[in-house]
Chain A
Amino acid sequence: MRRVSLAIDNVNYDLVVDNRESLWETMNFQLGLANSNLGCDRAQCGACTVLVDGKAVNGCTVLSARLGRGQKIATVAGLPTGPGVAGLHPVQRAFWLDGGFQCGICTRGFIMSTVQLLGAIPKPTTAQIAEGLAGNICRCGEYAKIFTAVNTAAAELRGEKVTHLASPVIVGVAGTAEAAPGAAGVSKEFQFDKPMGTIEDYDPFEQALKKRDGILGVSGNERSVTVKWDPAKLDEAKVRAILVDLGHAAR
């Protein structure tokens, strides 16, 4: 047994831990904190990813007895800056509203890996995202929307305005409906007639599209784009015409 003082999300916990106890076990069972999840037992899936001094590690194979020397442990619990949807960290909000999970067991780990990635590379390419998240398995297979979520979060962290693919259900006072972020407008996914060469070709196209009047939200990649528009100003035919005008007609 060993005494340690663990600094988790800027709070110190004085504990006695079994020498064999992993950080995950300590957080989950001793402290009752659901700050990360377990997917295996030997650092093969990344579900338990947390940051220790800014570096992503597998909490299932980091021994608590070896921490407690001032290392700063960061988990999803420390990311929100306020209550509700608006108070979430952009990475958290994007994973939720852009569908970067299905069952969600891998998500706490993916979020921390993404936070480390975007801290190091604010505008990652598709290949850099894949490399940065290669240590996190999503068995539900939702990698397509993980890319979307990471790109959207990265854009928001760079100060750009973003919209999301889906709306959260926000229950208001009986009989009133609160506007949810990204809720307005009609949304549709368009496949390009001719896919672009790389994701880098996509970025300036997206910037140009966002500037058009009536366009509320854009996300996508070199093969397809999901556009959200204000039905008061545009309809599907007009949106298609804009895509043609920007040089990337859709089927």
Chain B
Amino acid sequence: MAQIEAVRVVQDAAYAASLSDQDWYALAQDPTWQEMVSEQSEMVAGVIAQYGNKLPGGGQNSAPAELPVFRPFQVIGTDIARIQGYGIVTNTGTYTENLRMAGMLFMRTLRSRYPHAKITSIDTSEAEKIPGVRKILHRGNLPEEYKDVFLGSALPTRFLFNEEVFEVGAPIAVIAADSEHIGDVAIRAIKVQYEVLPAALDMLEAMKSSTPKQFTSNLDGTTIAVTAPLVRGDPTSAKADVVVDNVARKSTEQHVALELTNSLSYWDGDKLNMTYTNQHGHGTRSGLSQALKIPQNKVRVLQTGYLGSGYGYRSGIDLSEVHAAILSKLTGRPIKNNYTRYEDFVTRTHRPEFRNEMKLGVNRDGTISFGIFKVIANVGAQRAGAANGAWVNMQNLYKIPNLRLEAVDVMTNSYKSGPYRCVSHPNGTFALETTMDKAAYAINMDPIEFRLKNLNEVGNPDTKRPFSNIGIRDCITGVQTAINWKNVWHAPKAKQVRPGVYHGVGMAAHLCSHGAGSNPSTGQVIINSDGSVQAVSGTTDIGSGQRTNMLMIAAEALGVPLSTITITPYIDTDNTTDTGGTNGSRMTNTGGRGMYEAGVDARNQVLKYGADKFNSDFANAKADTRVTAADLDMGPDGIVFIKNDPKKTLNLAAIVQFKATSIIGKSDYLWPTTWEQVAVAAHAAEVEVDTVTGTVKITRYVAAHDVGKAMNPFSVRQQVEGGVVMATGAVLTEELLIDKATGLPLNPNLLDYRPLSIKDAPLAEVVIVEKPKAYGTFGGHGLGEPPMGPPAPTIVNAVYNAVGVWVTEMPLTRDKLLAALKASN
């Protein structure tokens, strides 16, 4: 299957126009494209609007206007602990990092120390002599068939070993050795000659025409893409009583999944087997298949079922995984590739640095007149897009009759961008919600009343797609009540609680496009001859409890007690069907839809074969009664009965034994494109700001999320609690820095890039709002990512309320706050 460059389809109109029908079919199956559809739907919206009819599976299924009526829930809505729990708290659960195999070698990588350079020579002769070094692979001895292989989209292009490298950390050589310690010694023994080239390290400088280009392009400097602006009404002529300006900036953040990226690869004849810390088994399979030029059925990807998460950066493969597969093939030995924390920080992807230039025109009566918003994103050393992903709330959350949205993506020789839990939406929410608060205070209006007055509760104003039962009003009033807003809100800098320490309260609303389902949704439910049930799903569990939820959905759809059905924690692509990646908060609705449809299909078969069995028994007893499936029902205990003669019963074992082969329910569900499927939320917080030390302490935090229907309220609360902590890290401490002179990363370790510890973490109180969605599995809408959006503006708005200064640059460190306080005096 020829490689279609998914990002180029979106950013290069000529490239998109050049695709054949076959190309569009191939694109729809490409996991990179599928991930963009679920994680970065704003990026693909324009292409889908223009070419959607060429993409199979899109728009072929029209959505119901309403949810079906469900039987009373037995399992959905209960608090169920993780199926992997026993393994996690003991030593019986195997994470990928715990794996080992006989004959295993360890891989280590020599990486570029310059952000932009040509590799002019490489000498591995000394390294090869080191005892325990088994193979060294680099551009010079890479087998011919892999020399044109590249990942992602071209220009700039990421080959397996580039001659011209575009980032610190670009791979130059890989070593297979008896131990990692020997590999580390060998790295230092390889001699590399670099021709150092000028590097683009500052996003705004890189956009200028004076910056040398690094790849063929019609745009200035190293600009990657300028998205066609979205214009609604007449924003440049619109009048407003007050115009508010806001520049909001975010620094580079990273996922920092605590299980370091790692894999174990071996070949079984001509078939690759790889266990890898990934969020999409079939997507990984597809990526490896393409890179290694072998069919998908010659690649087997395994997940152990225990995964130290991913938060978005491990849906697919990077160059390192291809290197490991090739090393394994050349050495004939299993290869263990453990990233160091430095490699994981630097060479995997990041939420990019953003700059937002916001202009909002409001009237004194509280109505919004116009919005002009520009987003610039630093996508790092690759072709990627991130800026226009920040548009979704600007476009949809409030009624803004005149709107202009602009987006620019810039390449620099630095941290590569990629989806990180909620992708570009935390930036969009940060930019818009701090602007909204600025406007509210400018017209002396309660920030909550200002938002409630301008809420858009209908649908996408530009495409006209409707929302389904949107719960944004309930979320905002939910936090208003939970934090006792009407009694605690006050004018800025009005409440000193201790000398130099001021109390503040702030809130933010959130809307993003994550949490709905997207193609494919598959799954199977198998009923065995003893009546026990197996749910089979390709869903990855990244820690949120997706596979526990899959089990619950299958149990509810089929209608059997949870104790009679199992699901494996692990996945093997050899015996599961693709149900997409665990990204975009989509799994409960996507893999879950697969479970739902399969469970319903199995239930229908149970009633059909149950009727056949009853009729066979009646015939044998010479009775005249005959029944059809419609005359039967199955109780929540899994016993089938005749509705008007309920003492006549059958259990599942009897029905399957009568059928003589297992009952298999399956799903082939394709998602409709009728609805504007959005997640909504609101958070509020009380803070104490110390104007002497510049510290911000969060004293109270409440969060309301509309999840349609909470499958497992226990894990729903966990997602919000955890997301608030994670996002608050980006507000208070987390930023990845580089030395502007050399381009070297300054702090890729866990002490200098500090995720929050238990001492600093805010403890969110969770309000679950349930407004069932017509498109949702059991009415649900996913929420793994939405909690990441509101914390930054919530805290910044609370700080303004406390001390009367705006700090709209993340992270909100003490030096920035103190400088802002000083400037305001």
Contacts and interface: CB of A to CB of B under 8 A. Distances in A.
Q: Binding site of A, secondary structure by majority: helix, strand, loop or mixed?
A: loop
B427 to A, nearest CB: 19
Interface stretch (B10-18, B167-175, B218-226, B752-760): B752-760
B653 A140 contact: no
Contacts of A71: none
Contacts of B239: none
B341 interface: yes
Given A40-B341, A131-B759, A99 B718 contact: yes
Interface in B528-552: 530-532, 542-545, 548, 551
Given A142-B722, A169-B83, A251-B481, A103 B543 contact: yes
A146 B756 CA distance: 14
Given A105-B259, A137-B757, A76 B562 contact: no
Q: Binding site of B, secondary structure by majority: helix, strand, loop or mixed?
A: loop
B766 to A, nearest CB: 8
B86 interface: yes
A38 B261 CA distance: 11
A88 B259 contact: no
B694 interface: no
Interface in A34-65: 34-35, 37-42, 44-45, 47
A35 B311 CA distance: 24
A103 B89 CA distance: 11
Interface in A59-105: 75-77, 79-80, 85, 88, 92-93, 95-97, 99, 101-105
Interface stretch (A170-178, A203-211, A231-239): A170-178
Interface in A216-251: 221, 223-224, 251
A92 B721 CA distance: 21
A107 B89 contact: yes
A6 interface: no
Contacts of B756: 141, 143
Nearest to B307: A103
Interface string B316-347: 00000000000000000000001011000000
Interface residues of B, number: 81
B84 interface: yes
B91 A175 contact: no
Given A37-B259, A102-B545, A223 B561 contact: no
A178 B95 CA distance: 29
A39 B259 contact: yes
B750 A137 contact: yes
A196 interface: no
Interface range for A:
35 or more
Interface stretch (B73-81, B387-395, B430-438, B736-744): B73-81
B308 A37 contact: yes
A139 interface: yes
Interface of A: 18, 20-21, 28-29, 32-35, 37-42, 44-45, 47, 75-77, 79-80, 85, 88, 92-93, 95-97, 99, 101-108, 111, 129-131, 133-147, 164-172, 174-178, 187, 189, 191, 221, 223-224, 251
The 9 residue pairs across chains A and B that have the minimum distance between CB atoms: A103-B543, A141-B725, A105-B308, A104-B88, A141-B722, A96-B85, A44-B750, A34-B98, A177-B563
26 contacts: A33-B91, A37-B308, A38-B260, A41-B340, A44-B341, A44-B750, A44-B751, A99-B714, A99-B718, A102-B544, A103-B307, A104-B84, A105-B258, A107-B89, A139-B255, A141-B724, A142-B722, A145-B721, A164-B81, A166-B79, A167-B79, A167-B81, A171-B565, A174-B653, A175-B652, A177-B561
